[in-house]
Structure 1
Amino acid sequence: MPNVLHDSSARPKWNLQLESASPHLAVRGLALIPLQSSGSLRNSPRPPQFQAQSSSRMSVVLRLTLLLLAVALSPLPTQATNKYPIILVNGFSGWGRDELLGFRYWGGIQGDFQDELTAQGYTVYTAAVGPFSSNWDRACELFAIIKGGRVDYGKKHSATHNHLQYGRNYTGLYSKWGTANSDGSINKVHLIGHSMGGQTVRMLAQLLEHGTTGAPIQEDPSSHTLFKGGKSWVHSITTISTPNQGTTLGDGFSTIGDSVKDLLAGVLSVVGVLGDSAKMVYDAKLDQWGITNKQSGETIQAYLDRVFSSKIFDPNFKDVCLWSLSTGGAKEEVTWVKTLSDVYYYSYATIDTYNTRDLLLRKISLPNLLTMLLPLDPLAVFLGGRYAPDTLKLSTDWQPNDGVVPTISMGSDGVGTAITFAGSSQLGKWNKMPQLNRLDHLAVIGVTLHTQVLDLYEGHAALLYALPSSSSRRLADSTAAVVKLDTAILELTAATTSVETKSDLESLCQSPKNSYAQSYCTKMLESASTRRLRG
């Protein structure tokens, strides 16, 4: 059934707004499952004539009826078969819980995902690794942050790149990590990484299991426990909007770098906290390079200008985020960072652009201007432009994006086996979850008006806790967990795809939940009249 866009004045008042939901979901047995993870629902210009609404509504009613039937017959509540902690890991330019005056990286406008998930009975921790460091340095930091101890970047690695070998000391979020229980089972973790965080957690898992074997720089296995290998300490890896195959922003930094550097300040401006930036705590965590912390009275923008003036951001420098994020860097990393056979992998892809043509009738992708966050606009235009196909000689499939990462790069590392998630998690493969439409790179972590984004995390946490533990013989996912996640995805997709006109955005802004949402609405609505709308 094609996706039908209705005039807002004629839209029936469904509680779940299901008339605009993605038809990615169908029913097999009792659980709603995705039919595909990308492609058919990429945003396209509004068709010249609307399809008949009655058939669309019948489809919606059918989907809703089947979903409710599945929920009614499922063995609720979900029975946890493992209780491994969930570790949330930030991406490029990210921050910790004690930074930015309490504006949460994991939650944004929608609050605090860690606290919300904890209240639901999950054990959740937030890790804050270097926002501009390389994946190698971030993986070393993440190990110490979770397990406790001093960061060791590796003697050979540090000497090669000419930075300090040792970093900060951490008490450890989960000091029991890797220890054995009385039955011989190991205390593992679930790792969830947003954006670059997904690359980082993949590298950490590789180092734990195989040390530095195959890496460009190989450390002495006896020099540090992280480099020794032999540790199956990660139960699952979830990548959210992750450049698993790189992002062309990394390749094109010399062209689009100013917009990338200004991204954080732009986001803070939209949510109304930039005015206090001189008082804010924000930590680039680049001690190994001798870059000092943000000084008293120094604004966020001035601090970032100082950080990006460092030699580590020079072209061709590899021990930094820009190389890890580039398509070349990602391709190099995947030669030794493998899809591990004993880890569950999940990937969520986001998209907030639509396909069109430029004046020369060449294919491009442009941002959906009513939904994409303002500071992401120039980045989305660059990603969706001709740089990827003309300069990098990539296919035009690399143009659709979420404002930071090409959507095609998010599904897998391009080497490991990838499957469409069909209600049963497969070990050692990329379980590709349904594509999240009309959701930009920051909306998926809460910088959005859509409250349903939290439900996505609750649903995914239920799926993770329903996975068999290392000592369990259970093979199938809990139907209740799958239904919970499918419901969350369906409702989120319905909400995001319902914003078609300025009046839709105004309706969404009628009762902002907090000052962040109020500022977001003000900025987005002010710009709605001047930003070039699609169609």
Structure 2
Amino acid sequence: MFRLWFGVLQLSELFLSSVIHLAYGFYIFSSGVASDLSQAANECVKPNRSIGVVDEKPERSKRSDGLPPIVLVHGIFGFGKGRLGGLSYFAGAEKKDEHVLVPDLGSLTSIYDRARELFYYLKGGEVDYGEEHSKICGHSQFGKIYEKGNYPEWDEDHPIHFVGHSAGAQVARLLQQMLADKAFKGYENTSENWVVSVTSLSGAFNGTTRTYLDGIQPEDGKSLKPVSLLQLCRLGVIMYDWIDIPWLKNYYNFGFDHFNMSWRKMGVSGLVDCLLGNSGPFASNDWILPDLTIQGSMRLNYHLHTFPNTFYFSYATKRTRKIMGVIVPSSILGIHPLLFIRVLQMSQWRNPLDVSPPYKGYNDKDWQDNDGALNTISMTHPRIPFEHANQLVVNEYECQPLQPGIWYYKIVEADHIFFIVNRERAGVQFDLLYDRIFERCRKHVFRTTPPTLPNHMQQ
């Protein structure tokens, strides 16, 4: 009887979580459509406009002032400029500086695939995922073609600032490691010094226990539970890609085009294979969720370095507090409905007794504080399997000038999506956070004396 009631409770929670996530996804999608319709209506009523004239600035911009671009890298289920109409993943933060790039990477593709895509988005050319990796994971070696890179002059003399949200922070780290390892064919001169700084906003450095709540098996950090939120997600993504409606995929794309899951290429038999888990990204674990488990993050971190000439800063978010020795959500209205249940569940997560801890020294209590998507301990700096040099920051102005090769981190009271998509939720905190990030990139984070700043950025 107990098992029956427990099963009913689990199914009820799965149903509720599915409804909430679908409702939020529809809200985001409809917001993008509404934004497009509003913009189209405004264009129609504007006088003296020539047909076909577009005001939107291209992603590439002139950088005659010598300032390196700031590249905003989105997280899981995220999107870059050009997707979802006029909607901004970073809630318009990119408008705070003239030299900001917002790449559109695979929203569910692996950290590895996204890092490769980001390189070619910047340098230009056809995305090359690597011959060996492509064969192992069962997808095409080549992907999207960028006829003109968004920063083709990128090199050690023309470096970049990366600002990554959630999984985007790991993408930036892996790309920097690839540059150090000279991992791009035809580019033998790359180095870690192509990156001036990496700023993380709720960065997924060490994985999250939420992956296990959503359906990843804690035993291996890869396989999916038969009945779970991620199973529903897997089936939905496969069908979305297989149906392959061009205008819909142009509007929002999960990023699996290189797996050729369209009905035009794999037919019905291929669809059945994917649904049964015999092929596709979910069969080869070449998607983002296995990278976000504690085990998957350890595998990534084992090869990623903190480089001595690069500046690092991290904002770790939390929406929990301790009451009478128990970690609970710190707010009801202050936590997005999409995340409230997960904040509570993650604060009570315990590694199963019959499952070995994900790493030596693991303690459930260390992982209780969270923001509804990631554990706070995971967001401060790379910790496992090796802890990188780090320093807690209380007042950012007290740690100037920053020293390279050290992860400076600050704890912020916010949930995981507080500083993205909806600017009104964060209010004045939104401008304070992004103004500080951009100011640091422009004034305090340079290997040499920075060039003269535009008047509007000088104090």
Coarse TM-score class (shorter-chain normalised): 0.5 to 0.7
Asked if the contact 1:245–1:327 (Cα under 8 Å) also holds between the matched residues in 2, the reply is: yes
2:76 pairs, out of 74, 83, 92, with 92
2:321 pairs, out of 325, 347, 354, with 354
Q: Does 1:250 align with 2:211?
A: yes
Asked if the contact 2:206–2:294 (Cα under 8 Å) also holds between the matched residues in 1, the reply is: yes
Could you tell me which residue of structure 2 aligns to residue 130 of structure 1? Answer: 106
Describe the shift of the 1:337–1:307 C-alpha distance in structure 2 as closer, same or farther (beyond 3 A): farther
Could you tell me which residue of structure 2 aligns to residue 287 of structure 1? Answer: 257
Distance across 2 between alignment mates of 1:468 and 1:101? 33
Could you tell me which residue of structure 1 aligns to residue 67 of structure 2? Answer: 83
Distance across 2 between alignment mates of 1:87 and 1:307? 36
Distance across 1 between alignment mates of 2:337 and 2:330? 10
Task: Deviation per CA, 1:268-324: give whole Å up to 9, x if none.
Answer: xxxxxxxxx97992111111212349xxxxxxxxxxxx9998955658x43220111
Aligned-partner SS, 2:391: strand
Q: Does 1:334 align with 2:301?
A: yes
Distance across 2 between alignment mates of 1:364 and 1:86? 37
Aligned-partner SS, 1:291: coil
Asked if the contact 1:259–1:378 (Cα under 8 Å) also holds between the matched residues in 2, the reply is: no
The correspondence of residues 409-420 of structure 1 with structure 2, limited to 5 A, is 409-414=378-383, 415-420=387-392
| Counterpart residue type for residue 410 of structure 1 | M
| Counterpart residue type for residue 113 of structure 1 | A
Task: Deviation per CA, 1:1-60: give whole Å up to 9, x if none.
Answer: xxxxxxxxxxxxxxxxxxxxxxxxxxxxxxxxxxxxxxxxxxxxxxxxxxxxxxxxxxxx
Please report how far the alpha carbon of residue 175 of structure 1 lies from its aligned counterpart in structure 2 after TM superposition: 1.6
Could you tell me which residue of structure 1 aligns to residue 130 of structure 2? Answer: 154
The correspondence of residues 276-425 of structure 1 with structure 2, limited to 5 A, is 281-292=251-262, 311-312=279-280, 314=282, 317-356=284-323, 363-366=326-329, 368-388=331-351, 392=357, 394-414=363-383, 415-421=387-393, 422-425=399-402
Answer 1 or 2: higher relative contact order, Cα 8 Å, separation at least 6. 1
Asked if the contact 1:351–1:400 (Cα under 8 Å) also holds between the matched residues in 2, the reply is: yes
Distance across 1 between alignment mates of 2:231 and 2:149? 31
Distance across 1 between alignment mates of 2:343 and 2:232? 14
| Counterpart residue type for residue 388 of structure 2 | G
TM-score normalised to the size of structure 1?
0.58
Please report how far the alpha carbon of residue 364 of structure 1 lies from its aligned counterpart in structure 2 after TM superposition: 4.2
| Counterpart residue type for residue 80 of structure 2 | G
Distance across 1 between alignment mates of 2:275 and 2:371? 26
Task: Deviation per CA, 1:120-173: give whole Å up to 9, x if none.
Answer: xx4111011111111110000000111111110011111111111101012322
Q: Identity, % of aligned pairs?
A: 26
The correspondence of residues 88-237 of structure 1 with structure 2, limited to 5 A, is 88-107=72-91, 112-115=92-95, 117-118=96-97, 122-170=98-146, 171-178=148-155, 186-211=157-182, 223-225=185-187, 229-230=190-191, 232-237=193-198
| Counterpart residue type for residue 451 of structure 1 | G
Please report how far the alpha carbon of residue 363 of structure 1 lies from its aligned counterpart in structure 2 after TM superposition: 4.1
Could you tell me which residue of structure 2 aligns to residue 216 of structure 1? Answer: none
Q: What runs of 5+ residues in structure 1 fail to find an aligned partner?
A: 1-80, 179-184, 213-220, 264-276, 294-305, 475-480, 485-535
Distance across 1 between alignment mates of 2:417 and 2:192? 33
Please report how far the alpha carbon of residue 249 of structure 1 lies from its aligned counterpart in structure 2 after TM superposition: 2.1
Describe the shift of the 1:287–1:310 C-alpha distance in structure 2 as closer, same or farther (beyond 3 A): farther
Aligned-partner SS, 2:134: helix
Q: Does 1:466 align with 2:443?
A: yes
Describe the shift of the 1:280–1:152 C-alpha distance in structure 2 as closer, same or farther (beyond 3 A): closer
| Counterpart residue type for residue 374 of structure 2 | V
Describe the shift of the 1:252–1:468 C-alpha distance in structure 2 as closer, same or farther (beyond 3 A): closer
1:239 pairs, out of 175, 194, 200, with 200
Aligned-partner SS, 2:198: strand
Distance across 1 between alignment mates of 2:69 and 2:450? 21
Asked if the contact 1:248–1:326 (Cα under 8 Å) also holds between the matched residues in 2, the reply is: yes
Q: Does 1:443 align with 2:418?
A: yes
Distance across 1 between alignment mates of 2:249 and 2:177? 39
Corresponding residue pairs, total: 345
Asked if the contact 1:351–1:401 (Cα under 8 Å) also holds between the matched residues in 2, the reply is: yes
Aligned-partner SS, 2:197: strand
Asked if the contact 1:350–1:440 (Cα under 8 Å) also holds between the matched residues in 2, the reply is: yes
Please report how far the alpha carbon of residue 260 of structure 1 lies from its aligned counterpart in structure 2 after TM superposition: 6.1
Aligned-partner SS, 1:379: helix
Describe the shift of the 1:285–1:356 C-alpha distance in structure 2 as closer, same or farther (beyond 3 A): same
Asked if the contact 1:140–1:152 (Cα under 8 Å) also holds between the matched residues in 2, the reply is: yes
| Counterpart residue type for residue 419 of structure 1 | Q
Could you tell me which residue of structure 2 aligns to residue 511 of structure 1? Answer: none
Please report how far the alpha carbon of residue 202 of structure 1 lies from its aligned counterpart in structure 2 after TM superposition: 0.3
Q: CA RMSD in A?
A: 3.5
Deviates most, 93-102 or 321-330: 93-102
Q: What runs of 5+ residues in structure 2 fail to find an aligned partner?
A: 1-64, 217-224, 234-246, 264-273, 394-398, 452-456
Asked if the contact 2:259–2:281 (Cα under 8 Å) also holds between the matched residues in 1, the reply is: no
| Counterpart residue type for residue 77 of structure 2 | S
Task: Deviation per CA, 1:430-457: give whole Å up to 9, x if none.
Answer: 011x3111x1111122535232213311
TM-score normalised to the size of structure 2?
0.67
Asked if the contact 1:363–1:396 (Cα under 8 Å) also holds between the matched residues in 2, the reply is: no
Asked if the contact 2:309–2:447 (Cα under 8 Å) also holds between the matched residues in 1, the reply is: no
Task: Deviation per CA, 1:186-216: give whole Å up to 9, x if none.
Answer: 001100000000000000011111235xxxx
Describe the shift of the 1:262–1:369 C-alpha distance in structure 2 as closer, same or farther (beyond 3 A): farther
Aligned-partner SS, 1:106: coil
Asked if the contact 1:259–1:379 (Cα under 8 Å) also holds between the matched residues in 2, the reply is: no
Aligned-partner SS, 1:176: coil
Could you tell me which residue of structure 2 aligns to residue 5 of structure 1? Answer: none
Task: Deviation per CA, 1:44-85: give whole Å up to 9, x if none.
Answer: xxxxxxxxxxxxxxxxxxxxxxxxxxxxxxxxxxxxx97110
Describe the shift of the 1:280–1:84 C-alpha distance in structure 2 as closer, same or farther (beyond 3 A): closer
Describe the shift of the 1:285–1:468 C-alpha distance in structure 2 as closer, same or farther (beyond 3 A): closer
Task: Deviation per CA, 1:223-252: give whole Å up to 9, x if none.
Answer: 3427x7535211000111011111112344
Describe the shift of the 1:366–1:389 C-alpha distance in structure 2 as closer, same or farther (beyond 3 A): farther
Distance across 2 between alignment mates of 1:155 and 1:130? 19
Aligned-partner SS, 2:145: strand
| Counterpart residue type for residue 386 of structure 1 | W
Please report how far the alpha carbon of residue 399 of structure 1 lies from its aligned counterpart in structure 2 after TM superposition: 1.0
